[in-house]
């Protein structure tokens, strides 16, 4: 039943946005600066309102509109504005600059419960299943997560569970080549069988972490949602305690649509954590506030680029400051 177990790809695919050849090195730039640069489009929307000369009702109305434009959502926007008004009264805030700092603090407090580090030491192998819609960045995120866990001294194995998309297997093998990790793949066949093979191989080899790719699917594609649910059941045949983490990869540019995706995948899979990608290409970074109010899930990682080091654990303080500072 075992598929091919490769240390690296025999032939590297042509570079695409999802392959590591396009990954520009950026590790020399401090992460806070990279996050701030990545959230520039979200932050820039608020510059005009905080450059006003005084705090008045017009400022608050414009701020409300800007929060909604940043995909913070109605519920989270109402919550943040109420917190802001309460702070302004309590702390006698009278300047736009003071209001900006108070809003950053209110966002930080809203997001703080989502800041939960993913610990992979409880099981061996620790099985991580990644899901999401087409184009959200699952395969790229797997490559970056492999590097992240390797930096922690963990051994990693990748499972090419995306058996639908053309070249998906080759792209994952390219990431395996870049990171120097093995990839379990099959030329064709059942995605669940590939993941079963990967878990079995990881146990035999004493691997610490298995990262399992899956095909992109829309929540409305019920047969594909059932297939990914089947993958969970097959994993449990190989390891009754697995998967130990089910990560939903969300493209930040989807904005409020990310909430619908989260609700649907959570029903099908029981999502335990989120990866928010492509923050550097959108002005909709406020969607995390909407998630915090309407469907809170731990945000394990956020991404601001294509480089191997451009996916990092979510830190609420850094994120809130990058949006408003």
The confidence score (pLDDT) of residue 220 equals 66
Mean pLDDT by 10 residues, the chain (325 residues): 41 40 56 83 80 80 89 92 91 86 94 96 94 88 94 94 78 88 83 90 95 81 76 89 94 88 89 92 82 96 84 93 85
The confidence score (pLDDT) of residue 10 equals 33
What CATH code would you report for 1-15+27-325? 3.40.50.300
The confidence score (pLDDT) of residue 20 equals 54
The confidence score (pLDDT) of residue 15 equals 35
223, with CB counted inside 10 A (0-12, 13-18, 19+), is exposed
The confidence score (pLDDT) of residue 166 equals 62
Pick left, alpha or beta for residue 44 (phi over 0 → left; psi -120 to 50 → alpha; otherwise beta). alpha
Beta-strand runs (E) in the chain: 4-6, 126-131, 156-159, 182-185, 209-212, 245-251, 273-277, 299-303, 311-313
Q: What is the pLDDT of residues 244-256, one digit of tens each?
A: 999 999 998 888 8
The confidence score (pLDDT) of residue 6 equals 44
The confidence score (pLDDT) of residue 13 equals 34
Q: Name the token pair of 204.
A: 């035999």
């Amino acid at each position: 039943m075992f598929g091919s177990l490769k240390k690296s790809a025999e032939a590297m695919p042509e570079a695409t946005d999802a392959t590591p050849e396009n990954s520009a090195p950026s590790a020399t730039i401090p992460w806070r600066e990279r996050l701030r640069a990545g959230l520039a489009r979200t932050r820039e929307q608020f510059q005009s309102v905080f450059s006003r000369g005084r705090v008045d009702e017009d400022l608050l109305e414009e701020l409300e509109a800007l929060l909604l434009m940043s995909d913070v959502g109605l519920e989270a926007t109402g919550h943040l504005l109420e917190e802001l008004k309460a702070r302004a009264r309590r702390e006698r805030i009278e300047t736009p600059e003071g209001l900006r700092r108070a809003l950053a603090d209110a966002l930080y407090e809203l997001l703080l419960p989502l800041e939960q580090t993913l610990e992979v030491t409880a099981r061996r192998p620790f099985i991580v299943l990644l899901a999401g819609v087409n184009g959200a960045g699952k395969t790229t995120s797997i490559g970056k997560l492999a590097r992240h866990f390797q930096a922690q001294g963990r051994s990693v194995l990748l499972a090419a569970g995306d058996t639908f998309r053309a070249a998906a297997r080759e792209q994952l093998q390219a990431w395996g080549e870049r990171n120097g990790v093995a990839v379990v793949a099959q030329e064709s066949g059942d995605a669940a069988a590939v993941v079963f093979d990967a878990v079995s191989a990881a146990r035999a080899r004493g691997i610490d972490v298995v990262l399992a790719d899956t095909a992109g699917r829309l929540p409305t594609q019920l047969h594909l949602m059932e297939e990914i649910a089947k993958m969970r059941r097959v994993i449990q045949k190989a390891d009754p305690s697995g998967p130990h983490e089910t990560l939903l990869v969300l493209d930040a540019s989807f904005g409020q649509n990310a909430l619908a995706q989260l609700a649907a995948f959570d029903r099908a899979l029981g999502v335990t954590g989120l990866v928010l990608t492509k923050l550097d290409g959108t002005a909709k970074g406020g969607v995390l506030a909407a998630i915090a109010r309407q469907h809170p899930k731990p945000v394990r990682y956020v991404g601001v680029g294509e480089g191997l080091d451009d996916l990092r654990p979510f830190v609420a303080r850094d994120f809130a400051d990058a949006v408003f500072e």
